[in-house]
């Protein structure tokens, strides 16, 4: 097989983990193949304007291998984040604008999406970036459709990922696409990360996306709900667990968590079901029961309302190797 060329762009203020995280994934793929007596799959090059050393946002100095103007056409052009979404060196923007078309795949990590947008590459595309910068990206580049939840988005030849470690997820997805699941799994095991979180998975779990209650009884109920999605999670049952009246509990929960208990339960159950659809071979019926829905129709309605697709379609998108049983929908 032909060796694919990966070019990682470096610049002053770049996020170091955006560079090294993806680099370790591609290098890990080479190591995994070498252990099987196979040739490397990637050549990996770091480059900057003029080949100059750059200082990362954390103060680490990186010495790139070469000048951006001296590199051959890459198969994968990877643009890391940095500068907190600020404006980039016009020379760098011009280089990306003039050279991205030479790559088969152009990839951004975190706020690297701003550099791609400045270069005019994201107009009319669906993209994502670090959750803290999604609003700024959408406001500054209204021609770009910014998705706030996914950890990465692939739109044609351009892929964008959310903050920092999401670049590892995207790099693993690229390796899996190029070399297959076994190689990607070997890399993930070496790095001690998930094989990959599906791109449509939210940047935050429900517990991270919502507030943690200050009152200990309410906070304990939050944790209990997450650990027992198939239990009786009615307001009355949860209020009894918190030693409050249903009215007191609803008022306290809504004020401290930022949403009513019923909506929180809905989100927890959908998140639990999504994980099982992504990671297990359990049937839709089993998952509906495990996650407290009672019926597959109740889970289907919840998915259509909150995710936009039915459970079976969600599984087809994010676990493509799964073969559904007859009649599963």
- What is the set of active-site residues? 110
β-pair partners for 5: 43
β-pair partners for 126: 145
Residue 197 burial class via C-beta count within 10 angstroms: exposed 0-12, middle 13-18, buried 19 and up: buried
* Under 8 Å between Cβ of 2 and 161: no
Q: What crossing angle do the helices spanning 261-279 and 311-318 adopt, rounded to 10°? A: 50
Residue 114 CA to residue 120 CA, distance in Å, equals: 10
E strand or H helix at 44: strand 42-48
Pairing verdict, β 54-55 and 61-62: antiparallel
Closest listed residue to residue 203, CA positions, set 271, 155, 249: 271
């Amino acid at each position: 097989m032909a060796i694919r060329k990966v070019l990682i762009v470096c610049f002053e203020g770049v996020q170091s983990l955006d560079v090294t995280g993806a680099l370790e994934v591609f290098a890990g793929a080479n190591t995994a193949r070498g252990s099987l007596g196979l040739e490397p799959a990637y050549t990996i090059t770091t480059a900057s304007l003029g080949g100059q050393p750059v200082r990362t946002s954390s103060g680490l100095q990186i010495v790139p291998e070469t000048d951006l103007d001296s590199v051959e056409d890459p198969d994968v052009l990877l643009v890391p984040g940095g500068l907190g979404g600020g404006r980039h060196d016009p020379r760098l923007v011009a280089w990306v604008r003039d050279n991205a078309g030479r790559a088969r795949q152009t990839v951004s990590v975190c706020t690297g999406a701003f550099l791609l947008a400045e270069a005019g590459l994201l107009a009319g595309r669906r993209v994502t970036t670090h959750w803290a910068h999604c609003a700024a990206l959408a406001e500054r580049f209204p021609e770009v459709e910014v998705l706030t939840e996914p950890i990465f988005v692939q739109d044609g030849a351009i892929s964008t990922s959310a903050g920092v470690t999401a670049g590892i997820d995207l790099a693993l997805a690229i390796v899996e696409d190029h070399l297959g699941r076994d190689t990607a799994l070997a890399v993930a095991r070496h790095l001690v990360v998930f094989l990959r979180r599906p791109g449509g998975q939210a940047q935050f779990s429900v517990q991270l996306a919502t507030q943690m209650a200050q009152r200990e009884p309410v906070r304990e109920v939050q944790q209990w709900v997450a650990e027992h999605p198939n239990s009786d999670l009615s307001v009355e049952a949860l209020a009894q667990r918190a030693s409050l009246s249903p009215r007191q509990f609803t008022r306290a929960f809504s004020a401290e968590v930022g949403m009513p208990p019923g909506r929180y339960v809905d989100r927890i159950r959908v998140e639990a079901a999504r994980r099982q659809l992504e990671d297990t071979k359990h049937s839709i019926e089993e998952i509906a029961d495990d996650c407290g829905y009672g019926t597959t129709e109740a889970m289907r309605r919840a998915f259509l309302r909150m995710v936009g697709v039915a459970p079976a379609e969600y599984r087809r998108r994010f676990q493509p190797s799964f073969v559904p049983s007859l009649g599963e929908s």
